Amino acid sequence: MAFVKYHQPCPLCDSSDAVSINDDDSAYCFSCDKRIIDYSKLMGGQIENNVKEFEVHKSNSTNDVEGSFHPLADRGITLDTAKKYNVKSIYSKDGKFIKHFYPYYTASEITCYKIREPDKLFMWRGNSTGTGLFGESTFKHSGKFVTLVEGECDAMAAYELLGSKWPVVSLKSGAAGAARDVKNSIEFLEKFDNIVINFDNDKPGRDAAKKVARLLTPGKAKILTLPDDFKDANERLKAGRMQSYVDSWW
């Protein structure tokens, strides 16, 4: 299952473009964080039994999630990086990925997790309102560079591609929520002298990168253009293409 249509209106909230639709007509709204079982029926008014509400877990403690620190082997991400970003995970005994837990913070406290399951299934546990970008709490101080990517695994992958030296953060809600996420974290981003935007190499990603660049102080933003067809930083990491990424980044 994979998203085949993006930037669609949500019938459950006031967003005009935050829904992505899967090839089985299920959908997910990145604005109100709800999964829709049958998007076409819901748009036609058939709401009953069509929305999956996600579990809300109000604890702020990292000890209250399942899992522990592991290398994210399915994504090519090391144990050190998982610990750096405080990402826990669950793998089966034969090494198959079951869940990743991406922490999101309000101030310095974890107030929710985005949970990733196989087949790009995502859900939130806790209250995501007011949380910053993924990784924002990891890199609290100002500096020369920060890189902004679309997803959590891309953030960790880009961090490794850059030799684990430079801050990398990601959007909360992918390209569909890019402008909103950046506006909500504009103070954090503007602490840095240079903001490198490395969204996915597809039309939604390229369009979102242009929108985000216009929100930032003129001269600070650089949209990263890569010389090949890798879709994102994580694909590049798994292929071992570190040097070409670094060359383009500079």
Question: Domain residues of the chain, as ranges?
Answer: 3-52, 62-249
Q: pLDDT digits over 178-211, tens only?
A: 998 999 999 999 999 999 999 988 888 899 999 9
Cα 194 to chain centroid, rounded: 20
Q: pLDDT digits over 124-150, tens only?
A: 888 888 899 999 999 988 899 999 999
User: How would CATH label the architecture of 62-249?
Assistant: 3-Layer(aba) Sandwich (3.40)
Q: How far apart are CA 17 and CA 207, in angstroms?
A: 13
Can you point out the beta strands (E) in the chain?
3-8, 19-22, 27-29, 34-36, 51-52, 88-91, 97-106, 109-117, 121-126, 145-149, 168-170, 194-198, 221-223
What would the mean pLDDT of 24-39 be, rounded to a whole number? 78
- Which pLDDT value is given to residue 59? 41
Helices (H), 145-249: 152-161, 178-184, 186-189, 203-215, 233-238, 242-249
**pLDDT at 16 > cutoff 80:** no
- Which pLDDT value is given to residue 244? 83
